[in-house]
Structure 1
Amino acid sequence: MKNTATDFDVLIVGAGISGIGMAAHMKDKAPGHSFAIVERRDNLGGTWDLFRYPGIRSDSDMHTLGFDFEPWTHEKSIADGPAILDYLDRIVDERDIRKHIRFGHKVLSADWRDSEARWHVTLETAQGERKHLTANWLYLGAGYYDYDEAYDPGFDLGEFAGEVVHPQFWPKDLDYRGKNVVVIGSGATAVTIVPSMSDKAAKVTMLQRTPTWMFSRPAKDALANFLRKILPEKTAYRITRWKNITLQDLGFKRARAKPQKMGEALHKRIRKSLGDDCDLAPFTPPYNPWDQRLCLVPDDDLFEAMKSGKAEIVTGHIKAFEKGGVRLTDDQFIPADIVVTATGLKLAIAGKIALSREGRKIDLAQHYYYKGCMFSNVPNLAAVFGYLNASWTLRADINSDFICRVLQESRQRGADIVEPVLTPEAEAAIVEDDIFDFSSGYIQRGKAIMPKNAVAYPWRLNQEYVADRKRMKEDPVDDGLLDFRRHGANARGAGEQLEAAE
């Protein structure tokens, strides 16, 4: 291919929170750069369009899951899926972003060409047609899990005669009125589904192998709603956002420093909801609070469903699926017409796109994160993997802002290649860290495909938003590690570049 102009300066993959956020940031902070968003689905929203199970909602408050540039104005700060989609639709339309989105386009592969300073991207349309685009930058906002496959724990469904449903692929017309439902799992999805199905079902049982730490809070943020009445919208949003970020940060650090006290506080809140004589065993995990993400129970909805008798939590191991329900190893039988396998997600990195450099595979698991945003010795590539201990959008915002700064710096310098350079000598001196200090099953299962993580910044995916925000915003873009250059001019040889990429 001739060295002609790229189709786009930046190709954004995914029209969910991460992709829409990057487009909005570019409009404000890198307006001279062209971009397009490619989205495999027929609608924007990512997770919030894919998941259609009953009660689908945020498990973070929308003052931090919302963007820093767009106030969340709904009365409820714990919002349902449709309200989140409305928020994203408004951003896309008010900022004239929709015309930049190509729906029904799935990215299959992307090959970086050093001699051209651009990615050659192969896409497949919903009709099966192959297309080719080029872009100077690739920004991956495709999320963190596999859209095609959910985690399969390998259940032998045996003689079970009812319906089996996974939340990721919820059928449109599932009728559960008057039926017995068993929801297998104890994470955020199960905690959402159980109370939501209990209003129509005869009985909903949450069957958990191990308990999860839960905390309850009102779905409405009283301070946020009060501030919106007396202050300008953006000011009220900034204050509420700051308050929630601070409380989130303090809560996480308190849990890690004094896990027993945090556990006692969580149990105290549950007793307030269920009564002083309630059995706390179903709410007492074998791990400390925040060793896994806490499960949010907005407005006590799960606890209210339990008190009404329409929902229950059973802890045990499955022995067999029988015709009319589930048999546990202690011989307890749970009647079931429908089984919901809320057993977790399957992690995916870079949207499962086959990345390469001059035709040679780029395995991100062999590269270090750079500032939780780029990757060592991989040029013009950025991605979003949100916080595990805070809202996803907090990282999406600071990554977008940082890449916009990089784009502007590149243009000022006349550079079209930006690469976080990690020499073999420097890499040999790095002390590697566990990328995720979390025991959640989906996290542990996915570690093998994740990029490397160093103990010391910047070669890491950090889990401390307040510190990350300060660094990403205030540290100079040219930190001595980012190599800005023009292709073909004073560039290293292709062989040296490929060696670094490997």
Structure 2
Amino acid sequence: MNGHANGSAGSAATDFDVIIVGAGISGINAGYRVQDQLPGFSYSILEARDDLGGTWDLFKYPGIRSDSDLFTFGFAFNPWDRSNPIAEGSAIKSYVRDTAEKFGIAKNIRFRNRLNSADWSSTENVWSLNVDADGTPTTLRARFVIFGTGYYNYHQPLKANIPNLDDFQGQIIHPQFWPENLDYTGKKVVIIGSGATAITLLPNLAEKADRVTMLQRSPTYILSLPNRTNSRWLAYLLPSSLYHRLQRFIWIYTSRIFFLFCQRFPGFSRWILRQNVSRQLPSHVTHDPHFKPRYNPWDQRLCVCPDGDFFQSLRRGKADVRTDTIKTVTKRGIELNSGDSLDADIIITATGLQLQIAGGSNLTVDGKKVEIGSKFLWNGVMLQDLPNASFIIGYTNASWTLGADATAQFITRLLRTMKERNLVSATPRMGVNEEKTLEERPLLNLNSTYVTVASKHLPMAADKGPWQARDHYSKDIKFATNGDFETGMDYVKGMCS
């Protein structure tokens, strides 16, 4: 690693030491870690869209909000300083933008730069990235690439098998492509789905709509929490920086303990969540079957409901929940297999997101395509047989940003070590016959439909070795800062300055 972009004797000239793909939470966090921990390294952030924010710039549906607390979802180096742990999308986007500007990250972002493909040259030990730079084909070269693109396909949602949906003569909307000026005032709205998006949409649409019905095939666990912190009084006693660190620590570990409790005592956890929901339901809405999931808590993501707004809408009588399956969509609504029907002016297909890695770009090594779905992920951060590249994949059972920061801190330690040891490439390698001894494990520990459908396109994890899926933040940040990165890694030495 050069530590500068000009190259040196025996190394290829490059535009940047590091290129980060994506200017969302992951990309901005990685940018900060690179500039803070790798002084002298040049970097740039490629962003395909017109603005930063990633998910928080893409989704525009009413009420879009975080499904994790902002004390842990926010940046460790620029803590969320408001009292509400759950925040709306616009507030999160402003926070990300303010962070990027405050720390000088924004000037390194190249907007409207979409990565189409990237090829690693084993002779030059450099990445060549083919980029659509606002309509102009451009090639950028980098020694290391960080894919901070998340795992959603921004252009294509998950297709749901809804019989005769095209027969509907009203409006059909997917939350990923919400019309800017949609008027749902006085309309009958049916939301198909039961995940975080549907649970967010229902109370917000019910404020103006005539009627909002959430039609679900099976329920999701919902946990109502007050959208304010109970530790705010500590802010008057402690220095600001200490207060924010303590608050972040409390939320990290209470969330972790709750997750482990649900996994260890699923029956008791079901009972606790049932009590939380039952006491908020109006008399005309029963707990069973509408709020009795078929799975154990945290087998799928738990939906957080700030201040119980979902249940408030049910109690006001302008919203309801139906648990049924669709027989067919008609011109004016939906016929259910139970024999009932739902009239609708608008149908919203909140049926999930399509997953993809590296933003859908084509990755090759010496011109040969890398099949991501056939490779294992090394320690949750780098792909088998792919040199000098890392994928930022956060947690499914905790805030995404915690995993993103553990990855970013691993990358900076790896790059610093490579520079010190005059190493030009690092490639995760499987030992001879090692793959035959491994049992495949899911990369993401959820059984949600959108995850299982996409599993063949995601990297694999295994039952042992450096190929195990990530476990939790404390373990991962320890690995990032002090862990072994020799096992399963093949290094190439070169002539560096």
Normalised TM-score (structure 2): 0.94
Q: Which residue of 1 aligns with 2:171?
A: 163
TM-superposed deviation, 1:487: 4.4
Question: The residue matched to 1:120 in structure 2 has which SS?
Answer: strand
Question: Who is 2:120 aligned against?
Answer: 112
Instruction: Tell me the alpha carbon deviations over residues 19-62 of structure 1, each in whole angstroms, 9 at most, x when there is no partner.
Output: 10000111211122110000000000000000000000000000
Structure 2 contact 396–445 (Cα < 8 Å) conserved: no
Q: Aligned partner of 2:138: which letter? A: K
Residues 159 and 130 (structure 1), Cα distance of their counterparts in 2 relative to 1, 3 Å cut: same
The corresponding residue for 1:52 is 60
Q: Who is 1:236 aligned against?
A: 243
Kept in 1, the 8 Å contact 2:413–2:480? The answer is: no
Paired position in structure 1 for 2:151? 144
Matches within 5 A, 1:6-405: 6-126=14-134, 128-155=135-162, 156-223=164-231, 225-274=232-281, 279-281=286-288, 282-405=290-413
Unpaired segments ≥5 residues, structure 1: 490-502
For the structure 1 residues 149 and 277, does the alpha-carbon distance in structure 2 shift closer, same or farther, using more than 3 Å as the test? closer
1:269 partner amino acid: N
Native 8 Å contact 2:212 2:319 kept in 1: yes
**Superposition RMSD in Å:** 1.7
Q: What do residues 186-239 of structure 1 show as CA deviations (whole Å, max 9, x unaligned)? A: 00000000001111111111000111111110111121x222232222211211
How far 1:277 sits from its partner (Å)? Answer: 8.3
**TM-fit CA distance, 1:452:** 1.7
SS in 1 for 2:180: coil
> Does the CA contact (< 8 Å) of 1:115 and 1:488 recur in 2?
no
Which residue of 481, 489, 496 maps to 2:488?
481
What are the Cα deviations for residues 128-173 of structure 1, in whole angstroms up to 9, with x where unaligned? 3211111000100011011110011132225321111100000000
Note the C-alpha offset of 1:75: 2.3
Kept in 2: contact 1:389–1:463 (CA 8 A): no
Matched residue type, 1:485: V
Give the number of aligned pairs: 485
1:421, distance to aligned residue in structure 2 (A): 2.7
Q: What's 1:498 paired with?
A: none
Q: Which one-letter code corresponds to 2:391 in the other structure? A: A
Query: 3-state SS of the aligned residue for 2:348?
Result: strand
| Contact 2:172–2:346 (Cα < 8 Å) also in 1 | yes
For the residue of structure 1 that corresponds to 2:434, the secondary structure is helix
Q: Secondary structure at the match of 2:218?
A: coil
SS of 1:470's partner is: helix
Helix, strand or coil at the partner of 2:423: coil
Distance in 2 of aligned mates of 1:418 and 1:245: 32
Aligned amino acid, residue 467 of structure 2? W
Letter paired with 1:248: S
**Contact 2:11–2:495 (Cα < 8 Å) also in 1:** no
The separation in 2 between residues aligned to 1:487 and 1:98, in whole angstroms, is 33
Show the 5 A alignment for 1:443-482: 443-477=451-485, 479-482=486-489
Letter in 2 for 1:482: M
CA deviation after TM superposition for structure 1 residue 87, in Å: 1.1
Q: Deviations over 1:256-299 (max 9, x none)?
A: 11111101000111122226885111110111111111111110
Cα 1:170–1:277, aligned 2, differ >3 Å: closer, same or farther? closer
Does the 8 Å contact 1:106/1:123 carry over to 2? Answer: yes
Letter in 2 for 1:152: K
| Contact persistence 1:71–1:233 (CA under 8 A) | no
Contact 2:192 2:348 in 1 (8 A): yes
Cα–Cα, structure 1 residues 359 and 488, in superposed 2: closer, same or farther, change >3 Å? farther
Partner of residue 7, structure 2: none
- The 1:317–1:441 alpha-carbon spacing in structure 2 relative to 1, beyond 3 Å, is same
After superposition, the C-alpha distances for 1:429-459 in whole angstroms (9 at most, x for unaligned) are 3333233332100000010011121112421
Moved more, 382-391 or 150-159: 150-159
Partner of 1:406: 414
- Once the two structures are overlaid, the 10-residue window that deviates more, 41-50 or 432-441, is 432-441
Gaps of 5+ in 2: 1-9
Which residue does the alignment assign to 2:6?
none
Whether the 8 Å CA contact 1:368–1:451 is kept in 2: the answer is yes
Question: Whole-Å Cα distance in 1 between the matches of residues 74 and 358 of structure 2?
Answer: 23
Shift of 1:485: 2.4
- Matched residue SS, 1:112: strand
8 Å CA contact retained: 2:50, 2:111:
yes
1:170 maps to amino acid: W
Establish whether residue 436 from structure 1 lines up as the match of residue 444 from structure 2. Answer: yes
Give the aligned partner of residue 5 of structure 2: none
Look up the SS of the partner of 2:440 in the other structure: coil
* 1:113-141 alpha-carbon deviations (Å, 9 max, x no partner): 01111111001133x32111110001000
Q: 1:4 to 1:473 in 2, by over 3 A?
A: closer
Question: Does structure 2 retain, via aligned residues, the 8 Å contact 1:388–1:463?
Answer: no
Instruction: Give the distance between the partners of 1:3 and 1:410, measured in 2 at CA.
Output: 14
Cα displacement string for residues 333-392 of structure 1 (whole angstroms, at most 9, x for unaligned residues) = 112111110000001012111000110011122221111101222210101111111111
**Aligned-pair distance for 1:460?**
2.5
Partners of 2:58 and 2:156 in 1: CA distance:
12
Q: Which amino acid aligns with 1:237?
A: H
- Tell me the secondary structure at the aligned position of residue 314 of structure 1: strand
